[in-house]
Amino acid sequence: MSPAPYKNEPLTDYTKPANRKAMQTALATVAQELGREYPLVIGGEEITTPDKLYSYNPSRPSEVIGVFSKATPELAVRAIETAAKKFEDWKYVAPAKRADYLFKAAKLMRKRKFEFCAALTYEVGKSWGEADADTAEAIDFLEYYGREMLRYAQKQPIVKIKGEKNELVYIPLGVGVVVPPWNFALAILAGMTAAAVVAGNTVVLKPSSDSPYTGAKFFNLMREVGLPAGVINFVPGSGAAVGDILVAHPLTRFVSFTGSKEVGIHINELAAKVQPGQKWLKRVVAEMGGKDGIVVDDQCDLDGAAAATVASAFGFQGQKCSAASRAIVCEKVYDKFVAKVVERTKALTVGDPADQSTYMGPVVNKGSMDKILQYIETGVKEGGRIVAGGARADSDGWFVAPTVIADVKPSDTIALEEIFGPVLAIIKVKNFDEGLDVANNTEFGLTGGVWTKNKKKAEKAKQHFHVGNFYINRKITGAFVGVHPFGGFNMSGTDSKAGGRDYLLLFMQAKLMSEKIK
């Protein structure tokens, strides 16, 4: 039976008392299981090691979310070998059956949605709305990639000729190393893993060291729906210590990575080196950072532009690869725009995201907080003017006040480097054309947008603004699976589109079969 047509998972309406109660109950229930120990799981075998990885609540850093056995180099190798062995039968499992595991997982995740949301709130500091969006996106990936696999399993169109029966089928690649970030601790981890697995590959999943608990929840969900042991091997551990071993192993066929530019470049280089005994060139799918800008024209709805900029800059504390970190504003409306952004920014609530009224929670860890504060200092040193925030927000946790720095020059450090925190740089330009040039003036090319009422300018921007996800008169975050296939250009990655029709091809190869007939 074919599944119903794909549609996006609706976001939760928290004005409804029943939904509020459900989230509160989930927060209380999940709080009960915090601090537990979790094993590595290789080929279905649960393994504990003496060296532990602790996940902490960034709102209250003394609160341990979970304790994880860290992989050793030997276990990393064993995980790859186990996945390679399992690949030999998983690759023959019918695509429809593989897709079915994803549909079952989506159904179960939907049923336990608030539990996943609560996990995200505790482990990475997501507000109720942000946690809900992350969970909905994870469900979407499962539903979407399941259907995509069914599409790729259908008869593929090729040109017919006389005297031959020709057929093209998509087959999997082999063992994949899946390395997700913590910022969409559920959605990206689930999406990357599900895509690889539904395409017929087996994987070693190394969750981010900042969010192994959410990763374990997803892994356990896949076990619950009966995914055979060894198809996903759950291997927490430090990226630096075991990441290289996983990436370099000669049995690794591909790496699916989402994270920073620096780590992406490193993985790409390491994977390119052919190891003794290796029989293929490894494929690397890397989705990396951004320095996303919004160009604000002098012919635009300034209130709308300010609201969209603030939402894009400070949603989930600016820790989205798509977050607006630069507002590039035409001089005619510059002062007015700055004032509107400041007013909205100062109205944002910062605090524990377990509290429904919180808009902005903490940043993910102390290292991240220190780095963000350092960037703010650099911004000021280079001539920027703090007009909102600018310091650690008053609390025990890793809170940074939403910060707006005006009068930033296009060549300043904070106009070029990814900060990955709640810091918006505002840059003044003469006109819209100069704004486009400044927008393109980084090594990244992930998201970007323009606010203008002028159709000609919008058309020009469509052509010249070199980003994978370009938006007009709306916020530049919040891509929906299937609706806004997501991924960037240049140093933002390998030009893949998560949640799009091309994505599964990255995890497969095409085999052509030709038979002589009478």
Looking at the annotation, which residues are catalytic? 287, 321
Structure tokens at 451: 């606010």
Structure tokens at 137: 């996106």
Question: Least CB distance from residue 138 to Mg ion, whole Å?
Answer: 18
**Nearer to ligand NAP (CB atom), residue 63 or residue 244:** 244
Question: Least CB distance from residue 442 to ligand NAP, whole Å?
Answer: 12
Strand partners, 513: 167
Question: Least CB distance from residue 178 to ligand NAP, whole Å?
Answer: 9
Question: Least CB distance from residue 213 to Mg ion, whole Å?
Answer: 8
Instruction: Return the range that interacts with ligand NAP (CB under 6 A); candidates 74-82, 193-201, 286-294, 389-397.
Output: 286-294
**Total site size for ligand NAP, rule CB under 6 A:** 35
Distance CA 297, CA 305 (A): 9
Distance CA 403, CA 421 (A): 9
Distance CA 340, CA 342 (A): 5
Instruction: Return the range that interacts with ligand NAP (CB under 6 A); candidates 94-102, 135-143, 238-246, 449-457.
Output: 238-246
- The CA dihedral of 433, 435, 437, 443, to the nearest 10 degrees, is -160
Task: Quickly count: other Cβ atoms within 10 Å of residue 270's Cβ.
Answer: 17
Site for ligand NAP in 299-338 (CB under 6 A): 321
Instruction: Return the range that interacts with ligand NAP (CB under 6 A); candidates 256-264, 271-279, 373-381, 428-436.
Output: 256-264
Distance CA 472, CA 154 (A): 36
Q: Is 204 in the site for ligand NAP (CB under 6 A)?
A: no
| Dihedral sign from CA coordinates of 53, 58, 64, 65 | negative
Tell me which DSSP letter residue 510 carries. E
Query: Which member of 208, 309, 358, 403 binds ligand NAP (CB under 6 A)?
Result: 208
Question: Least CB distance from residue 435 to ligand NAP, whole Å?
Answer: 23
In contact, 247 and 206? CB cutoff 8 Å: no
**Nearer to Mg ion (CB atom), residue 318 or residue 485:** 318
Tell me how far CA of residue 413 lies from CA of 326, 378, 381, 443, 450, in angstroms: 12, 7, 10, 13, 22
Helices 113-124, 17-33: crossing angle, 10 deg rounding: 60
Estimate to the nearest angstrom the gap between the alpha carbon of 310 and the chain centroid.
20
Binding partner of residue 258 among Mg ion, ligand NAP, none, CB under 5 to 8 Å per kind? Answer: ligand NAP
Query: Which member of 150, 267, 328, 508 binds ligand NAP (CB under 6 A)?
Result: 267
The SS3 of residue 393 is coil
Q: Is 123 in the site for ligand NAP (CB under 6 A)?
A: no
Distance CA 471, CA 324 (A): 12
Tell me how far CA of residue 320 lies from CA of 82, 118, 185, 306, 368, in angstroms: 34, 19, 11, 18, 13
Instruction: Return the range that interacts with Mg ion (CB under 5 A); candidates 50-58, 140-148, 315-323, 384-392.
Output: 50-58
Q: Is 263 in the site for ligand NAP (CB under 6 A)?
A: yes
Distance CA 239, CA 179 (A): 8
Site for ligand NAP in 413-452 (CB under 6 A): 418, 420, 446
Task: Quickly count: other Cβ atoms within 10 Å of residue 31's Cβ.
Answer: 14
Binding partner of residue 419 among ligand NAP, Mg ion, none, CB under 5 to 8 Å per kind? Answer: none
Question: Least CB distance from residue 289 to ligand NAP, whole Å?
Answer: 3
- Interface ranges with ligand NAP (CB under 6 A): 179-184, 188, 206, 208-210, 238-240, 243-244, 247, 258-260, 263, 266-267, 287-290, 321, 418, 420, 446, 487-488, 492-493
- Interface ranges with Mg ion (CB under 5 A): 55-56, 210
